[in-house]
Amino acid sequence: MSDGGERAERPFALVATRVRVEERMLFDAFRRRGAACEHVDDRSIVYRVGGPPPPWRAVLNRALSAIRRLEVSRWCAATDTPVLNSAVTLACCDNKIATSLALHRAGVPTPDTVVALDAAGGGRAVAEVGYPAVVKSVNGSWGRALARVGDPDAAEAVFALRAEMPSPVQKLGYTQKFLPGRDLRVLVVGGRAVAAVVREADHWVRNTARGARATAHPLGPELARLAERSAAAVGGGVLGVDLLEDAAGDLRVLEVNGAVEFHGLADAHPDLPVADLIVDHLLDATAGAAS
């Protein structure tokens, strides 16, 4: 890095649309390390291509919008500004098709997945994975736009509605075999699995954003290794790997979250300094980039 000395004088940036409990925890972790960090609302960013680089030493990118999130990291990459997560990782994690392809390529077990490139093919995709199936939005999160489909009539109804949606992304058919089991999340920071939770809810959708309860789960070697392999498959960084554990104990990876929310995991593991681990990883990456 040619301007490493100058860059070392700059503050870190926490790019965030919302300052939630996680961002508060991260700001506190920066403060504990004596590292100046400013909040940057991703909606406020305007930059000239070929103009000055971002005025920050490194960036922790937690924009809520997947589109803006990718653009923040793309700008950082183009200007050699260290950023978590990278544009490569976000482009993979924020598209379920890309995630599935990357996990499969890495030999990571997932539920049987069939993709239709138009809503008209959605019924065929569901029939191929078999009933019951789950139809997901390719860019969905927080448990939104999920449908469990039990028969061809339900599949036809779901995809008839999707065909009418204005967003071309919603016309894509991403379908997975519905499998019963326990819903686990493992936090991976810099290639190392650090903690796991099990998420429980009365509903089959078990996102904490929809009220699921997260409790501590043992991070055994098999679970840790699979989470770490999944994280590596999507490009690495700070990641939330969601897995399903069936009654036999077999694990399948459902998705990998590139802008992971960790308040549930932090509550479940009160002795684990989650925010500090994330900030330390950014500081390490920054030191490595400057050397």
Partner 1 sequence: MTVCPECRGAVSVPDDVMAAEIVVCGECSSELEVVAVTPTVLALAPEVEEDWGE
Q: By CB under 8 A, name the binding residues for partner 1.
A: 16-20, 24, 39, 41, 64-67, 94, 139-142, 144, 167, 169-170, 240, 257-261
Tokens of 235: 């490009």
Under the phi-then-psi rule, with left for phi > 0, alpha for psi from -120 to 50, and beta for the rest, what region is 227?
alpha
Q: Which is nearer to partner 1, 1 or 97 (CB)?
A: 97
**Tell me, what DSSP letter sits at residue 55?**
S
d(CA 286, CA 36): 14
Q: Which is nearer to partner 1, 24 or 203 (CB)?
A: 24
Residues paired with residue 192 on neighbouring β-strands, in sequence order = 189
Closest contact distance (angstroms) between CB of 291 and partner 1 is 31
Closest contact distance (angstroms) between CB of 5 and partner 1 is 31
Closest contact distance (angstroms) between CB of 144 and partner 1 is 7
Q: Which is nearer to partner 1, 15 or 108 (CB)?
A: 15
Query: What is the enclosing helix (H) or strand (E) of 194?
Result: strand 192-200
Q: What is the DSSP string of 10-50?
A: SPEEEEESS--HHHHHHHHHHHHTT--EEEE-GGG----TT
Closest contact distance (angstroms) between CB of 18 and partner 1 is 6
Helix 122-129 with 152-163: angle, nearest 10 deg: 140
Q: Which is nearer to partner 1, 18 or 192 (CB)?
A: 18
d(CA 142, CA 126): 22
**Tell me, what DSSP letter sits at residue 182?**
E
Q: Which is nearer to partner 1, 139 or 176 (CB)?
A: 139
Tokens of 54: 């971002």
Query: What is the enclosing helix (H) or strand (E) of 193?
Result: strand 192-200
Location of structure tokens 């290794």: 225
Assign 176 to helix, strand or coil. Answer: strand
Closest contact distance (angstroms) between CB of 68 and partner 1 is 8
Q: Which is nearer to partner 1, 117 or 165 (CB)?
A: 165
Closest contact distance (angstroms) between CB of 118 and partner 1 is 18
Closest contact distance (angstroms) between CB of 249 and partner 1 is 27
Q: Which is nearer to partner 1, 102 or 129 (CB)?
A: 102
